Chain A
């Protein structure tokens, strides 16, 4: 089971960028989203339908179109430049998989 993401995306400072995650299990289970900056551990940014942990700016939001969840950064800032990974339960078995990751570059 695999979750597929676009390898990279760029966004102008202050503009909006959307990252998607595709996989067979996503019509059944929610995805969660993680931000990873160089040399750091991943950090949860979105989970469930559209929930943000404490301390995550409200420019981060989650949504879904059909079976494809998305992470949107509205008004991207320089500090949002990072790798972003989705995660969800696999379609078969009680195991979890990460997406292939999307590198976001803020121009």
Chain B
């Protein structure tokens, strides 16, 4: 059973960089898309971006200037860095596995439990 686990600081100061890691167990990082999705308290889901295991990356254009997603296939992990954070970046951050088939389109079939990151001094 594939499991994803987010890890990283729960508190980040304004203007600093938020860094999170997603560790994958029970399956390989190969042949899938790996995404970061966030949810501000009491609000809806926001797609941050995704990386294919081979390195192809796509970002939400509203966050693109501040976001970096990378993958480490040797460690079965991928990461998120969001720089110059403000209080508006306070959210639960989820990592998720994306899969695609021409007959079914794109979907997220496995999610991490999520980690709350608070931006505050």
Contact = CB atoms under 8 A, between A and B. Distances in A.
Contacts of A85: 44-45
Interface centre among A43, A96, A101 (most CB of B within 10 A): A96
A30 B101 CA distance: 11
A95 B61 contact: yes
B4 to A, nearest CB: 9
A100 interface: yes
B interface, size bucket: 20 to 34
Interface residues of A, number: 28
A32 interface: yes
A34 interface: yes
Interface string A64-107: 00000000000000000000010111000111111111000000
Contact of B104 (A41, A49, A97, A99): A49
B interface majority secondary structure: strand
B106 A96 contact: yes
Contacts of A42: 45, 94, 108, 111
B105 A95 contact: no
B100 to A, nearest CB: 10
A31 B107 CA distance: 8
A57 interface: no
A96 B104 contact: no
Interface in A21-59: 29-32, 34, 36, 41-44, 47-49, 51, 53
22 contacts: A31-B105, A34-B45, A36-B45, A41-B114, A42-B45, A42-B108, A44-B108, A47-B107, A47-B109, A48-B105, A49-B103, A87-B45, A87-B107, A88-B105, A94-B58, A95-B58, A95-B60, A96-B106, A98-B37, A98-B44, A98-B46, A101-B44
Interface of B: 35, 37, 44-47, 49-50, 58-61, 94, 101, 103-109, 111-114
